[in-house]
Structure formats: C-alpha cells, structure tokens
C-alpha cells in the first residue's frame, strides 16, 4: 500500500470534517482534518497555560489556505492564526487556529 493511501485511510478513520469557503471566492472545500483542541490549564480565574488549537491535513487538500481564513469544524468557526506549515517530509500540513 502506498503512503498516500495510508494517509487517506488514516484521515478517513480519525479525521473530522472541515468546511472552508475561501474569502477570495472560488469553490468551497470539505476536507478531513485532524483537529486538536486541547484544554487550557486554569487555576481559579487565572489561565496558566493557554494551549493552541491546530488542524493537520494532507498537503494540497486546502490549497490557498492562509492566515485569517475561517473554517467550520464541528459546527464552530475557527480562524487561521498564521501561515500553515508543512510537517517534516511535506506530506502533511499544520495550521494553528483560534475560535473566530
């Protein structure tokens, strides 16, 4: 089995649907992403550690995704914080996101 097939299977089994309508127009995209939304560490009314949410996706599946773009994941709106970055061999891309 090729690595691309393994990635497709992995995302099909563990991914969550993300919907993106590019702000510049064009076709909306629905892709599977690995959505990581860790909890913040809070003590009383103080946030001690604020964790950053991320999405990971197969490189090329969200062409043109840049900072400030908004995606819908699990019914919530998420804004891309900074330009997405390829991971290691470039087959996967990670983007930091925050609730919009």
CA-closest candidate to residue 54, choices 13, 84, 97, 16: 97
Tens of pLDDT, residue by residue over 5-28, are 689 999 999 999 999 999 999 999
Tens of pLDDT, residue by residue over 35-92, are 998 775 566 676 555 578 999 999 999 999 999 999 999 999 999 999 999 998 999 9
**CATH number of the domain bearing residue 37:** 2.40.10
Number of domains in the chain: 1
Tens of pLDDT, residue by residue over 78-88, are 999 999 999 98
pTM, to two decimals? 0.84
Can you give the residue range of the structural domain that contains 76? 3-99
CA-closest candidate to residue 3, choices 99, 91, 80, 63: 91
């Amino acid at each position: 089995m090729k690595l691309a097939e393994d990635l497709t299977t992995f995302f099909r089994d563990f991914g969550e649907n993300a919907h993106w309508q590019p702000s510049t127009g064009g076709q909306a995209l629905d892709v599977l992403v690995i959505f990581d939304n860790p909890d913040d560490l809070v003590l009383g009314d103080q946030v001690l550690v604020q964790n950053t949410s991320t999405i990971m996706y197969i490189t090329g599946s969200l062409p043109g995704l840049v900072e400030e773009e908004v995606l819908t994941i699990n019914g919530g709106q998420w804004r891309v914080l900074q330009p997405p970055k390829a991971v290691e061999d470039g087959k996967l891309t990670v983007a930091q996101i925050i609730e919009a």
